[in-house]
Amino acid sequence: MNHELDTKQIRQHLNRSAAQLDQPTVEKLREARMQALSRHHARSTAPAFAWASALAGSGHTAGSHRSHYHWAAIILFAACLFSGITYWQGTQDNDDSDVDIAILTDEMPIDVYVD
């Protein structure tokens, strides 16, 4: 059996059948094709931040791009917040070093100033 011939025959049958379809069916098929293409486009062009999507539990739907960026922005913001707060807390030590040096280098022993 010639496989290439079979494929051609199938295509011809499909073309003949398609030509016999009524207009509403053709329209539904066209819409389904467009939807499939748009899904394929979303999957192939920008799965950037796909891991964020996985976290969100959302699949590659039409709005998944936006979801990816939302999650990326949230994670970035959380990292900034954590970093900023930690750094700020670390630098909150008032600079009393000038007074400390004055005490340390004073003639008076430090126990005079300590209870």
Partner 1 sequence: MRTPHRLLALIIVTLLYLPALLAAKPWTELTPLQQEALAPLVKNWDSLPEKRQQHLLKYVKHYQDLPPAKRKRMHDQLVAWSGLTPEQHRRAREKYKAFNQVPPEKREQVRQMVREREANKAASGVAPITPVR
In whole angstroms, how close is the CB of 39 to partner 1 at the nearest point? 20
Kindly give, in sequence order, each residue whose CB lies less than 8 Å from that of residue 38, ignoring residues fewer than 6 positions away.
Answer: 62
Kindly give, in sequence order, each residue whose CB lies less than 8 Å from that of residue 72, ignoring residues fewer than 6 positions away.
Answer: 49, 52
Q: Which stretch binds partner 1 (CB under 8 A): 16-24, 33-41, 47-55, 56-64?
A: 47-55
Please state, in angstroms and rounded to a whole number, the distance separating the CA atoms of residues 56 and 71. 8
In whole angstroms, how close is the CB of 109 to partner 1 at the nearest point? 6
The binding site for partner 1 (CB under 8 A) comprises: 47-49, 51, 72, 75-76, 79-80, 82-83, 86-87, 90-91, 93, 95-115
